[in-house]
Structure 1
Amino acid sequence: MQQMQNNVVNTLIDVGLLDFPADQTEQESLAEAYRDVLDAQGLLRSPDNAIELGRCVVLPSSAEELSLLLVTPSPVDEYDEELRRKTSPVMFERRPNGDICLPQRWLLTQIEHLADNPLAPEEVQACARMVSLTAVIPGGGIIVPHTTDTIALSLSNDDGTETVLEALPGGLTFTLEFLGKDAD
């Protein structure tokens, strides 16, 4: 988990949302600055400041694309389309070559969270709300290369059993390209 957080912090430093600490006193303030970034993007809203699984930070982007940094692990959905719990261990669907298939629902959830991101401009929030309710993703989802590492999360169930879920680790960046009306 520490390595994931280091990856997240390093990415935030690389894109200029955090400053690299020059000495020990600045390293201590890095944790506070990191919490400030998460809070500014609406991720620290619970009383204990816990961040939900699968949440992203919006990175500086252009008008043609939107980059999202996965801050916390994003597990596979433990329920099927009929809302029945899948048998543990629950793994991502994969293509024959091993590429991970993230369902359209995953991306639309991230876009829905963007609609509630206080740093997103009003027009982006409105657009995100509309897209999260109406978009259809070509191919039904996102393909993640088979070389991407995943982790196992163990969750305790109400009945005392444990479910193991495969998850994408925090620190991954997803860049969404917007196709204009002139695109093929």
Structure 2
Amino acid sequence: MNIKKLLVVTSMLILSSITTLSSKVPEWYPDEWKDLNLPIIEDMPQMPVLEGYKEDLDGKKLRKLQKTYTVALGTKVNVFIPLEVMTDIDIEATIIGNQIAQIPFDIELNRTPEKKDYYSVKYSKNELDIDDDGEIDTFIYSSKYINERVSKDNYVKIFGEKISRDGIHKKKVYVTIEVGE
């Protein structure tokens, strides 16, 4: 709500200071500016002279200020940059027979989380059927919370006894960071 008020006040200040533009260049401009074809803001129109004006020594009428105000505008902006996973993770493993492989991997974030035990890693799938035979054979594990810029306690566990088809198998898993409970 405060941002809306700030935008309204700022836009009112800007709109009140805009005047018509003219193509003539005043004499007091430096010569190098005259070739730039910049829009020139004309002088503000004179305010009507109210009662109570004075004359100076040259006979010009001076306006007496009725009321003056000072406006101080302070701004405070909170910028929040969300946590993002910065690295792509490619896991390559050769599984022979009934071997159980545990493959560690790192997750790097764009910055260190500002709160401890607040952010967690979320995978699109934690349990995979790597060879598409209908039996879950690959599991992804991570700690409950991520507190460092680089998380090193993540691993993939592959059970060779559950893989029934030989060959190269590929799966894509998406990693995101979510706010913990």
- The alignment's TM-score, normalised by the length of structure 1, stands at 0.20
Give the number of the structure whose residues are more often helix, by fraction: 1
Determine which structure has more spread, i.e. the larger CA radius of gyration. Answer: 2
Q: Which has the higher contact order (CA 8 A, sep 6+)?
A: 1
